[in-house]
Amino acid sequence: MKLLHKTLFNYLLFSVFIFLISTVVFYFLVQNLWENDVDESLIYQKEKIIEGLKAGTFEDTVVENFTRNAQKLGVEVSIVPVTGSSPNAEFFRNETYPDPVRNHAEPFREMVSLIQVNGENYKITVRKDLVESADLILEIIIAQAILFLILLIGSLFFNNSFSKRIWQPFYELVVRVKSFRIDKQEVLVAPETRITEFDELGEAIERLTRDAIRTFSTQKEFTENAAHETQTPLAVIKTQLDLLAQDENLTEQQSEIITRIEKNVRILSKLNRNLLLLARIENEQVDKTGQTNISAVVDEICSALEEEIKMKGLTLSLSLLPDVPVISNEHLVHSLVANLITNAIRYNIPRGRIDIQLSNDRFEITNTGQGHSLDESRIFERFYNSKGADGSGLGLAIAKKICLTLGYELNYRFSMPDHHTFTVKFT
Amino acid sequence: MRVLAVIRRRNFRGSNRIEYGGLSIDIVRESVFFQDNPVKQLSPKEFDLLMLFMSAPKRVLTKGAIAEHLFGDHADLFDNFDLVYAHVKNLKKKLKQTGCPDYIKTVYGMGYKFETS
């Protein structure tokens, strides 16, 4: 969930809660006010009646007039003389009475008072119909609800666009951090904001990337220097071993030792060359503007490896489009193709197959091998290889790096029962 | 390899032929004779191999050095020297067919040495 949505959602929840509560409270408040108002008018009516009674003008015609007048105001009055009841009691109540016209019960507010006027006891009942008031309350509530909704939507909208503007530099920063690549050697520049927190965050990230880049290039330099500096001693060891091998008096055991040393020196030099190549590619010290005929490269490597393939009992099927040109680096393309083909030979099974296809937009090599897929996420890592393999563990890492540098796409897929396919897309 | 190149240059000395123990190579025509009998059907790799041996007689040539000579930059592509072994074996067989004594000696597992007797 996005940050903006999260805050908006919480805001909305709170608003709806307040809206519901306030509507209920408001309803009761308005009703209460209204009832007080009605009660006051009932009391006023009662006082008028008492006045009339006191003045002794309490006659049927007067009552009739009074009642008629009162009815115009929505008030019904009844005055009944009573005996033996205690005077000066007064209470209000809500009642419903059937409405003869509308044919159903209607709510009324009723005041019943027992009074004594001129020594006579009367029970005066005054009631007022609440239909209109209920309608009025409903209308008030609706109006209030609409107002509140407008306020809510308005503030949501305002809040949304406002937050968007405020958070905009933050999202910009996220985009820049996402596109940051340490091997590009470009320090990340945080966007200008006028918000302290964002500025601090941006500054921290800038510092972090600057440090990371410095560490990265130091480490890269180290790899390159180390690889470079080991070349000479390795060459010396090689020539000295060659000299030692000329000794007439070598025993078999000593010869075996020399063979073993020589083998490992060779592995070491190969590793060394590959590390240097990797470092050079990473430093982008490659010219990528040369014209390379990939068909010729593939052809050359295949014929160099022909005997090796034959000796291992593998079947090679080549389907090459002739003269596929790419603007690229011949050395790197050579290294890429050689790595993929030797890989296909190295991890093949006895009497297996290798299929190589080259078209205008892709180079694809499929080999038979173990019956399960390789770990796609890790095969292109350095020194990730199956145990006991003869490779240096750099082949696919180099292939991947070369593809990255040349802008190609290198993909791996497995298909049943045992076909491993590597595809290079020249895009 | 540099040592071998020097030896080769010194041995050729402007001549187009290398001779050793009755074997002779005509570098220009790429043909090999043992006491006037032609050694037939040598593959290009076998020819290269024989040149290497004859230009550096009595020297122990490790399999690695041989591989580098035969395959150049591609030597890196191979995981082992089975291929060197195969080529040496074939060369020996073809030399033997022309009656040439077995000059190519195996030096333990280390490599090969080309010498008479």
Question: At A238, which CATH number?
Answer: 1.10.287.130
Give CA–CA dist A212/B39, Å, rounded: 66
Q: Which residue of A has its CA nearest to B77?
A: A342
Q: Could you say which of A256, A342, A346 has the minimum Cβ distance to residue B108? A: A256
State whether A271 and A314 are in the same domain.
no
CA distance B53 to chain A (A): 14
Query: Looking at the 3D structure of chain A, how many domains does it have?
Result: 3
Residue A160 lies in a domain: no
Residue A350 lies in a domain: yes
State whether A31 and A128 are in the same domain.
yes
State whether A271 and A310 are in the same domain.
no
Q: Could you say which of B60, B76, B83 has the minimum Cβ distance to residue A245? A: B60
Q: What is the ipTM of this complex?
A: 0.77
State whether A133 and A93 are in the same domain.
yes
The verdict on a CB contact (< 8 Å) between A304 and B80 is no
State whether A329 and A256 are in the same domain.
no
State whether A341 and A419 are in the same domain.
yes
State whether A259 and A348 are in the same domain.
no
State whether A24 and A136 are in the same domain.
yes
Q: Which residue of B has its CA nearest to A311?
A: B83
Residues of A within 8 A of B108 (CB-CB) are 250, 252, 255-256, 259
The verdict on a CB contact (< 8 Å) between B62 and A342 is no
Residue A181 lies in a domain: no
Residue B80 DSSP one-character state: S
Boundary (domain end) residue, out of A282, A301, A325: A282
Q: Where are the beta strands (DSSP E) in A352-397?
A: 353-358, 362-368
pLDDT tens, residue by residue, A129-177? 777 777 777 888 888 888 888 988 888 888 888 888 888 888 888 898 8
Domain ranges, residue A216: 196-282
CA distance A335 to chain B (A): 10
pLDDT tens, residue by residue, A91-128? 888 877 776 666 777 778 888 888 777 777 778 888 88
Answer yes or no: is pLDDT of A216 > 80: yes
Residue A167 lies in a domain: no
Question: At A372, which CATH number?
Answer: 3.30.565.10
Question: At A124, which CATH number?
Answer: 3.30.450
Residue A185 lies in a domain: no
Residues of A within 8 A of B89 (CB-CB) are none
Q: Which chain A residues have any C-beta within 8 angstroms of a chain B C-beta?
A: 239, 241-242, 245-246, 250, 252, 255-256, 258-259, 262-263, 266, 270, 273, 301, 304-305, 307-308, 311, 338, 341-342, 346, 390-391
Boundary (domain end) residue, out of A98, A114, A142: A142
State whether A359 and A307 are in the same domain.
yes
The percent of residues above 70 in pLDDT, for chain B, comes to 86
State whether A308 and A268 are in the same domain.
no
A86: which residues sit within 8 A by CB, 6+ positions away? A114
Boundary (domain end) residue, out of A122, A142, A162: A142
Residues of B within 8 A of A263 (CB-CB) are 64
The torsion defined by the Cα of A178, A183, A187 and A191, in degrees rounded to 10, comes to -20
Which of B49, B79, B82, B106 is the best residue to mutate to test the A interface, defined by the most A CB atoms within 10 Å of its own CB? B79
pLDDT tens, residue by residue, B18-67? 888 888 888 777 888 888 888 888 888 889 899 889 888 888 888 888 88
Residue A215 lies in a domain: yes
State whether A275 and A244 are in the same domain.
yes
Residues of B within 8 A of A344 (CB-CB) are none
Q: Report the b/e string of A132-163 with b at 16+ CB within 10 A.
A: ebeeebeebbeebeeebeeebeeeeeeeeeee
Q: Which domains does chain B have, with CATH numbers?
A: 2-114 (1.10.10.10)
